[in-house]
């Protein structure tokens, strides 16, 4: 799994860490049952505060993408399969948006609005 953060980017670091893990789950690089590195290890590697990583893991847990298991640490949960399932739909939607000249930001806003409607 690949984590990447850019301190110069606008988004908070915990959002960026969570987004990296979501992206790996969406591509199938991370599947249900895969163990994540400990929050301390990630904090050390990326040179960020431990609480930043814990907050990212917490967010993912609330989404069902990560489960916290006693003794095993953070493990990828069942929501990863659903995310991977949606990947083909997302790619088709993105291709259609490119055809119509709709940019990534507008498309993301559209999807977010649609997801929040129901």
Choose which of 15, 19, 32, 37 interacts with other proteins (CB under 8 A).
Answer: 37
Distance CA 100, CA 106 (A): 12
Question: Taking CB under 8 A as the rule, does residue 71 contact other proteins?
Answer: no
- On whether the CB atoms of residues 40 and 50 are closer than 8 A, the answer is yes
| Distances, alpha carbon 22 to alpha carbons 9, 64, 70, 71, in Å | 18, 11, 22, 23
- Of residues 13, 12, 36, the one with CA closest to residue 24: 36
Query: Which range touches other proteins (CB under 8 A), out of 33-41, 59-67, 82-90, 106-114?
Result: 33-41
Question: Taking CB under 8 A as the rule, does residue 75 contact other proteins?
Answer: no
Distance CA 2, CA 116 (A): 29
Question: Taking CB under 8 A as the rule, does residue 18 contact other proteins?
Answer: no
Question: Taking CB under 8 A as the rule, does residue 8 contact other proteins?
Answer: yes
Question: Taking CB under 8 A as the rule, does residue 41 contact other proteins?
Answer: yes
Nearer to other proteins, 4 or 69 (CB): 4
Nearer to other proteins, 96 or 104 (CB): 104
Question: Taking CB under 8 A as the rule, does residue 50 contact other proteins?
Answer: no
Question: Taking CB under 8 A as the rule, does residue 49 contact other proteins?
Answer: no
Cross-strand partners of 35: 75
């Amino acid at each position: 799994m690949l984590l990447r953060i850019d301190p110069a980017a606008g988004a908070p670091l915990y959002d960026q860490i969570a987004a990296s893990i979501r992206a790996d789950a969406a591509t199938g690089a991370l599947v249900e049952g895969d163990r994540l590195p400990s929050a301390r290890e990630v904090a050390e590697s990326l040179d960020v505060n431990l609480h930043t990583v814990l907050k990212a893991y917490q967010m993912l847990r609330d989404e069902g993408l990560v489960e916290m298991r006693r003794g095993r640490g953070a493990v990828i949960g069942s929501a990863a399969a659903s995310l991977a399932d949606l990947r083909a739909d997302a790619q088709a939607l993105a291709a259609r948006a490119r055809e119509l000249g709709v940019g990534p930001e507008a498309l993301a806003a559209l999807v977010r609005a649609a997801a929040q409607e129901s």
